[in-house]
Amino acid sequence: MAPSDHGHDGPGGPAATPFDKAPSPLMEPEGETRILAISSGKGGVGKSSLTVNLACAIAERANSVAVIDADVYGFSVPRMIGLDEDPDVENDKIVPPEVSGVKVVSMGFFLEEEQAVVWRGPMLHKALEQFITDVAWGDLDYLLIDMPPGTGDIALSISQFLPRAEVVVVTTPQPAAQRVAQRAAAMAGKVGMGVLGVIENMSWFTGDDGKRYELFGSGGGQTLAEQLGVELLGQVPVLPEVRIGSDEGRPVVISEPESEGATAIFGIADRIIAAERALAAPGAPPHQPHNQHHGQGLGASPSGSGSVPGGGLSVTPKSRG
């Protein structure tokens, strides 16, 4: 691919804006699909693993679920969920592969794992647009988005493309992580998205003696939830099976559904399902039009060989190793 991150004027006039094509139903403000942006202030808190397991847990409750791996610099969802196939293209739409009842689209489908993504804002915006508009998602009950850690271009794009997305903030117990996670929540407020709740990961370790050991301190998740005025959706313990399952593509809620970690995640999933939609805070900025970003496609033109419409991601089978 030879992407450019600058819009330009072509023979037909100005470069196309992202919404020259029909928007996805996911973008409709009154749509039925619940959209959950799983966010964190920093890396290393288990956000992607939680996203995968939450998606599988919600799917286990007889829901139609999909995940967008929007962590374009650190994509990991396909490997964590156990996907070993690439998407097909039918009628100029990506057909997302599905495993454990969860459909997935990830930058990992279009790049080799060792290939770096060196893109700036307009290219990231365009890639995310294609993940939303150029995919045959079907009727979804839930769409989970594995967000990049921190705040930045992807969060801004999500707020424009998916204005009714609800933010779920992942943190760990220690105060330092909690303070950083608060920035992700503050970002949500600035761009007009509501915060649904907080998940505290790595909350404790249960020893062979049956006692809980708080390896990373305690209280960070509850403190953050209180500061934000939202619910602490749950706490997830440190468990080897969660880490091993993520490494081997076997989400713990599928491979060991009765385990302590899976039980905690199912509890969080049930609270999310039961919760009312999170609304943007009063005084939040109104949703902005979708055509404020100009960006070229991601390299290829549509063709019979499996390119994605809109001048974009080339769907080419590759080895996952």
CB neighbourhood size of 174 (10 A): 17
> Domain 37-280 is in which class?
alpha beta
Query: Which of 87, 39, 68, 58 lies closest to 251, judged by CA?
Result: 58
In the chain, domain spans: 37-280
The owner of tokens 């365009």 is: 126
Is 90 exceeded by the pLDDT of residue 247? no
Instruction: Look up residue 85 and give its amino acid.
Output: E
Specify the pLDDT at position 171. 92
More reliable by pLDDT, 23 or 192? 192
High-pLDDT (> 90) share of the chain, %:
39
Whether the pTM exceeds 0.85: the reply is no
Contact 120, 5 (CB under 8 A): yes
Q: Which residue has the higher pLDDT, 23 or 9?
A: 23
Q: Does residue 187 surpass a pLDDT of 60?
A: yes
pLDDT at 112: 67
Mean pLDDT of the chain: 79
Residue 288, pLDDT score: 46
pLDDT at residue 125, rounded to an integer: 80
pLDDT of residue 1: 38
Residue 59: the pLDDT is 98
Residues above pLDDT 70, as percent of the chain: 75
Per-residue pLDDT of 102-154, as tens digits, reads 999 998 887 766 666 666 667 778 888 889 999 999 999 999 999 887 666 77
Among the listed ranges 47-51, 79-83, 132-136, 290-294, which one has the minimum average pLDDT value?
A: 290-294
Q: SS3 for 94?
A: strand
Calculate mean pLDDT across residues 2-11.
39
Reported as a single tens digit per residue, the pLDDT across 199-239 is: 999 998 888 898 998 888 888 899 999 999 999 999 999 98
On whether the CB atoms of residues 276 and 262 are closer than 8 A, the answer is: no
Classify strands 93-95 and 166-171 as parallel, antiparallel or unpaired: unpaired
CA distances from 258 to 65, 211, 271, 297 (A): 22, 19, 18, 45
* For residues 234-251, average pLDDT: 89
**pLDDT tens readout for residues 41-58:** 777 888 999 999 999 999
